[in-house]
Structure 1
Amino acid sequence: METHEYAPGRSVDVFGDPAHPTVLLWHGTQTDARHTVGSLAELLAGHDLRVVVPDWNSHADDHGRSDLLASVRFARAGTAQPLAVIGWSLGAVAAAGLAIGAAQYDVSVRHVVGLGGAFMVRDPLTGEMLGPRLSADQRRAPFTLLHGAGDDVVPLQASRDFAVELERAGWPVRVIELDADHGNIAGAQYNSAEDRYEPSADPNTRQVVTEVAERVAEALANPPKPR
């Protein structure tokens, strides 16, 4: 793993071989929490992926928009291929927003993977809800939505409902339900004393996040098709 700046004062960890396909991995609602998804990034790199994991600040005045888009530019600089974007929680909403607004952002997204995606909230890139912005005329990247049945922060129904919206607009989507909660699906656990998520070395969390990495790698290799 190497750490760089993707913008002045903004850090990013890069895992894996630069020759491998690039995946951009966004953490969820927190300030500069790239470390929370470090174990997932490391596992994904073991599946022959180059994984770019930036800090971003969802509490900034722009809700993280400038951080998110700057990290996209950094990730794209290392590859000529379309990006796969993985987002956890609010990061999944941003990843979906990037794909929906791909033409606006001048980026090609080859796949979106959501982990416990909070699709019932507004996109931090635009401040708008995702569903009304979906159109069959857009570049329709495939979506794989992984969600834990034990998620008591973002209900599984959030991914199910968003999948219905995607399907209605003709976007390829697959929902995968896992025996996971909101934290361990990304390799993290909630610290109630600090009111934040942190990396977890718990054996059950390791088992869950290992399965998640395998599922993500499989999804990237075999994306869902339009119905």
Structure 2
Amino acid sequence: MTSDTGTAVETVRGLVYGPGGKRLDVYRPAAARPAGTVLLWHGIGPDERDVLEPLARTAAARGLLVLVPDWASDAADRGRSQLLESLAFVRAGAAGLGGDGESLVLAGWSAGAGAALGVALRPEVAGGWRPAAVVGVAGRYDLPAITTGEGSLADVADGLDPAVPVHLVHGGRDTVVDPRCSRELAEALRTAGRPVTLQEPDTDHAGVIMTAYDPASDRCLPTTAEPALRAGQLVAEVLAAAAGS
């Protein structure tokens, strides 16, 4: 485990969160108690917590405690147990990191978005617990959520209630996950009378988390492209608003 402190954000890297030895990184304000707590799940690429560092650091600079775990979609259960172990770890340990483990925002990008919403719709997977809010970034909701095995869009259509605000952000130029996926979920939630917001910044699937896809490494890497920076700032604002800060 290593730690470093910048001008605004302190980073603690490599906390082991579960029996499988998976690790998470912590981002928090360096000189103040966090105003809210966010558990942020990455997408389908195994163990890509580093991909979310630009967004997590930006959100922490807004006063949030942000925790980003690795999880492995290539595990036998597609990463379900690791996602839920990371949630249990944060609920139990966030107070010791300066945050609130019970009243936290559950957020995710790409496959992580559907996993986050699934917990709110089917809280029995977390012992009946629900987050304070869900933030889904560039998610697809018609496929089975990794946390529940059920499609969130179908769950909403069947009358399941997330019972918390849902905030969606989706790049308008996303060619990996069609923005229509978030629009359909937003419409379904509105039709059911549930609180939901949707914003579509002018960027793509990688840009919405302040990265750009690099074919050579087959990874999303930090970028300084202005549309991506603006989109990441927007997502950080949504996270902060969802956390009530």
Q: Normalising to structure 2: TM-score of the pair?
A: 0.83
Count of residues in correspondence between the two structures: 222
State whether residues 121 and 160 of structure 2, in contact with CA within 8 Å, keep that contact through their aligned partners in structure 1. no
CA RMSD of aligned residues (A): 2.0
Counterpart Cα distance in 1 of 2:28 and 2:243: 16
What aligned pairs does 1:175-194 form with structure 2 within 5 A after superposition?
A: 175-194=198-217
1:41 offset after TM fit, Å? 0.5
**Alpha-carbon separation, structure 2, partners of 1:203 and 1:157:** 24
Q: Indicate conservation of the 8 Å contact 1:187/1:206, yes or no.
A: yes
Tell me the SS of whatever aligns to 1:16.
strand
Alpha-carbon distance between aligned partners in 1 of 2:203 and 2:244, rounded to the nearest angstrom: 23
Pick closer, same or farther for the CA change 1:102–1:170 going to 2, 3 Å: farther
**1:96/1:199 Cα in 2 relative to 1: closer, same or farther (>3 Å)?**
same
Q: Does 2:166 correspond to 1:114?
A: no
Amino acid at match of 2:46: T
Question: In the alignment, what sits opposite 2:145?
Answer: 123
Q: Secondary structure at the match of 2:241?
A: helix
Give the whole-Å Cα distance in 2 for the aligned partners of 1:118 and 1:86. 13
Query: Partner residue of 2:76?
Result: 61
Deviation at 1:90, TM superposition (A): 0.6
Structure 2 residue runs of 5 or longer lacking an equivalent are 1-10, 95-99
Q: Which residue of 1 aligns with 2:194?
A: 171
Q: Distance in 2 between matches of 1:158 and 1:139?
A: 17
After superposing the two structures, state which structure 1 stretch, 192-201 or 145-154, moved more. Answer: 192-201
Deviation, 1:160, is: 0.5
**CA, structure 1 residues 171+22, in 2 after alignment: closer, same or farther (shift >3 Å)?**
same
1:151 is matched with 174
Query: Residue 116 of structure 2 is aligned with which of 66, 74, 95?
Result: 95
Q: Give the Cα separation in 2 of the matches to 1:80 and 1:30.
A: 26
1:101-142 alpha-carbon deviations (Å, 9 max, x no partner): 124422221111111112232211122211232365645111
For residue 204 of structure 1, report the CA deviation from its aligned partner.
4.4
Please, which moves more after superposition, 154-163 or 133-142?
133-142
Distance 1:166 1:210 in 2: 25
The alpha-carbon deviation at position 200 of structure 1 amounts to 3.0
1:211 maps onto 2:226 in alignment: no
Counterpart code for 2:176: V
Determine the C-alpha separation between the residues in 2 that align with 1:149 and 1:139.
Answer: 25
Q: Distance in 2 between matches of 1:114 and 1:59?
A: 22
SS at match of 1:97: helix
Match of 1:225 in 2: none
Q: Scaled by the length of structure 1, what TM-score is found?
A: 0.89
Distance in 1 of aligned mates of 2:101 and 2:119: 18
Note the alpha carbon deviations across 1:63-109, whole angstroms, 9 max, x for none: 11011000101111123532201110110000110111124422221
Q: What is the identity, as a one-letter code, of the residue corresponding to 1:127?
A: G
Contact 1:20 1:49 in 2 (8 A): yes
1:197 partnered with 2:212 = no
Question: Runs of 5+ in structure 1 lacking a partner?
Answer: 223-227
Counterpart of 1:46?
A: 61
Which amino acid in the other structure matches residue 173 of structure 2? G
Alpha-carbon separation, structure 2, partners of 1:88 and 1:19: 22
SS at match of 2:169: strand
